[in-house]
Amino acid sequence: MAKQTGKPLQSSLPGPEDIFQATLSNGITLLARSNFNSPSVSMSGYLRAGSIFESDEKLGLADFVSSALMRGTQTRTFDSIYNELESVGASLGFDSSVHTASFGGRALAEDLPLLLQLLSESLTTPTFPKKEIEKLRAQLLTGLNIRAQDTADMAALNFDKLLYGNHPYSRPSDGYLETIQSITQADLQKFHRRHFGPRGMVIAIVGAIAPTKALEVAERFLGSWQVPGQVVAPELPPLKPLRKTLMRHQRIAGKSQSDLIVGVFGPRRKDPEFFATSLANSILGQFGMMGRIGESVRERSGLAYYAYSSLSAGAHSGSWEVFAGVNPKNVKRAQDLIIKELKRLIKDGVTRAELADSQANYVGRLPLSFESNGGVAGSLINIHRYNLGLDFYQRYAGIVNRVTRAEVMEAARKYLNPEALAISTAGP
For the stretch 111-156, pLDDT in tens is 999 999 999 999 999 999 999 999 999 999 999 999 999 999 999 9
What values do phi and psi take at 22, rounded to 5? Answer: -145, 165
DSSP string, 325-382: EE-GGGHHHHHHHHHHHHHHHHHH---HHHHHHHHHHHHHHGGGGGSSHHHHHHHHHH
Q: What is the pLDDT of residue 234?
A: 87
Question: 86: closest CA among 106, 69, 102?
Answer: 106
Element (H, E) at 145: helix 130-148
The Cα–Cα gap between 65 and 48 comes to 13
- The answer to whether position 395 is within a domain reads yes
Same domain, 210 and 250: no
Indicate if the pLDDT at residue 8 is higher than 90.
Answer: no
Same domain, 316 and 201: no
Q: Domain boundary at 170, 187, 222, which?
A: 222
- The answer to whether position 230 is within a domain reads no
Find out whether 198 and 25 touch, Cβ atoms under 8 Å.
Answer: no
The Cα–Cα gap between 333 and 392 comes to 42
- The answer to whether position 78 is within a domain reads yes
Q: What is the pLDDT of residue 11?
A: 56
Find out whether 197 and 184 touch, Cβ atoms under 8 Å.
Answer: no
Same domain, 415 and 268: yes
**Mean pLDDT, range 80-84, rounded to an integer:** 97
- The answer to whether position 238 is within a domain reads no
Indicate if the pLDDT at residue 256 is higher than 80.
Answer: yes
Same domain, 198 and 67: yes
Supply the CATH number for residue 72's domain.
3.30.830.10
Same domain, 48 and 162: yes
Length of the chain as a residue count: 428
Same domain, 327 and 388: yes
**Mean pLDDT, range 215-219, rounded to an integer:** 98
The Cα–Cα gap between 121 and 70 comes to 9
Same domain, 308 and 163: no
- The answer to whether position 57 is within a domain reads yes
Q: What is the pLDDT of residues 309-357, one digit of tens each?
A: 999 999 888 999 999 999 999 999 999 999 999 999 999 999 999 999 9
Q: What dihedral angle (degrees, nearest 10) is formed by the CA atoms of 122, 128, 129, 134?
A: 120
Average model confidence (pLDDT) across the chain: 95
Residue 125, exposed/middle/buried by CB under 10 A (0-12, 13-18, 19+)?
middle
- The answer to whether position 267 is within a domain reads yes
Same domain, 205 and 250: no
- The answer to whether position 31 is within a domain reads yes
Same domain, 218 and 82: yes
**Mean pLDDT, range 221-230, rounded to an integer:** 96
Same domain, 22 and 104: yes
The alpha carbon dihedral of 281, 263, 100, 70 has a sign of positive
Same domain, 270 and 362: yes
> In percent, how much of the chain has pLDDT > 70?
97
Q: What is the pLDDT of residue 206?
A: 98
**What is the total count of domains within the chain?**
2
Same domain, 253 and 384: yes
Radius of gyration of the chain from its Cα atoms, rounded to whole angstroms: 23
Q: What is the pLDDT of residue 115?
A: 98
Q: What is the pLDDT of residues 154-207, one digit of tens each?
A: 999 999 999 999 999 999 999 999 999 999 999 999 999 999 999 999 999 999
Q: What is the pLDDT of residue 350?
A: 97
Provide the pLDDT confidence category of residue 63 given band limits of 50, 70 and 90.
Answer: very high
Indicate if the pLDDT at residue 3 is higher than 80.
Answer: no
Q: What dihedral angle (degrees, nearest 10) is formed by the CA atoms of 169, 170, 173, 178?
A: -140
Helix axes 392-401, 352-365, angle to 10 degrees: 170
- The answer to whether position 236 is within a domain reads no
Range of the domain at 346: 246-427
